[in-house]
Structure 1
């Protein structure tokens, strides 16, 4: 049993999108930083997904042949609103995901992350293909769409019913925040002009061991004190601030046998070598105590909150987070 570190290439999306790093450059960066595994969004970095050309696949094979880091997880989306006038039928949903399973197998991945809210009805018809191609399907448990969400609960219920090693969960640690990301607050304050009192209102919940979900009632209406101070310019912050959840780790106790992978969210590595919002040593200790055997992948999202005029620091942040994970895993696992 061992916890292994990885990087989601989503963390380097700005470098890739703006042409500062190619896929080959990114793989070299992973090897330079001794990252044993990686996660990819195929439709972000492989043209034509889920049916790339033979030329694209040949280029993938060429890069993989010289890369030490290994394919761990392919992040897959299911666009049920593909058409303007209707949602996809159940058969269309399943057929699309079958193609994703086949591609994952071809690329060397043994795990697919299904984005949050993928309907539970896909599980049973996909299992024969998951088994045939040796690719596990796993729903992402993400803040804002976590364990209390009816669709998530339905997926977990069906997952437990079929009880297959080819069906499980991917947990995003954005549900385990001790604080709202500082970079998020500063961007909203300095760039969007959000009222500092609104930001302080949300931060105060964390000071009490709570989170921003308590700023709303059960119908997701703002609490009276928040509504009294909120202005239209504050709404982008307000509508995102409850997405940083402070959930006890014990919420995982019941589903640990089904967890296949973790997204270790990263917004800001500090000069002290820790992530500002999440206590990763505590999480890694919990996973070790529970006997977790799998990867934990850095997923950097502080890139969206870089202040104007400041350089993009994706590579620096990812490298610092990986150093934290390597050292913490070595300390915990001996």
Structure 2
């Protein structure tokens, strides 16, 4: 099987948090959407991680067996600030990642997503445990926290040096925004009263083929024109600073690292009435992956939920369903 569809259950976090859907409800909904697999944040939906009880493991495996969904990716965090008076030592960090590896294996996952900025020095000490448990450690390469960011580059260099099947990357399509997310612009305009000229300028920058991460790097700080449009920091600064998290890179930026791609986050900000994602061209992304022989999962990760206007329902289920309809259709067209 080639490219496979999946959904990060993070995409439905408010359904779970507010008690509208249980973990089993989420499994059933994924089955109804005909997805191939699921992605999990254990910290969010399993008690006792990274050392859950045997009862929790049994409950999990019962759901996996009952609904027959593949296990795409286990999203974990290196929580270095567990104590008020100090950060975790290197030894404590390594021990914590090893516990996460063992848990991932017991849950049935073969890929761990390490959140952006996890230090590269955890890799070599954890590699033996990863290999023993058949679990790959993969850094998320995310817009604003990806290529050309020193900590990410350190991880990529260490990954190449070690050159192990148990170390890789999880690119996030926030790297490939062809337009700034409209839901973010609308939210900031209506909630903060953001200067419309900043929003207009952001759209012009993306239409020209670049982005604010690139401009800020080029200028050694905030793009001068963007800075000049900030008339009221309370209204404008949040939107202006947030723009750096949406990049407009060419897909070729992944060329040196294709063999290390173990999973892929398909960011979802807003599905339109026309059935496309407003900011990201998913046909071009899937064609790239198909051309390079990728045969892993691509996972819907809905983040438009954080930009829903006050007193409006969060359309998580509807947005995820529409995105999966698009992705599954494109996979079928591209892969036959």
**Which bin holds the TM-score, normalised by the shorter protein?**
over 0.9
CA contact (8 A) 2:212 2:223 kept: no
Task: Give the TM-score normalised by structure 1.
Answer: 0.97
Distance 1:219 1:118, change over 3 A: farther
Alignment map for 1:1-334 (pairs within 5 Å):
2-213=2-213, 216=216, 218=218, 221-230=221-230, 231-232=232-233, 233-334=235-336
User: What per-residue deviation string (whole Å, max 9, x for no partner) do you get for residues 260-307 of structure 1?
Assistant: 000000011111111000000011001111111111000000011112
Q: How many residues align?
A: 334
Is the alpha carbon distance of 1:32 and 1:210 closer, same or farther for their aligned partners in structure 2, counting shifts above 3 Å? same
Give 1:217 shift. Answer: 5.5
Kindly report the root-mean-square deviation, in angstroms, between the aligned alpha carbons of the 2 structures. Answer: 1.4
Which residues of structure 1 form unaligned runs of 5+?
Answer: none
SS of the equivalent of 1:129 reads helix
Listed as ranges, the gaps of 5+ residues in structure 2 are: none
CA distance in 2, matches of 1:44, 1:202: 34
1:207, CA displacement in angstroms? Answer: 1.5
Q: 2 CA distance for matches of 1:189 and 1:266?
A: 20
Determine helix, strand or coil for the equivalent of 1:137: strand
Q: 2:51, 2:266 → 1: CA distance?
A: 29
Distance 1:133 1:45 in 2: 22
Question: Aligned partners of 2:137, 2:192: CA distance in 1, in Å?
Answer: 39
Residue 226 of structure 2 contacts residue 240 of structure 2 at CA under 8 Å; is this kept in 1? no
> How many Å separate the matches in 2 of 1:223 and 1:121?
33
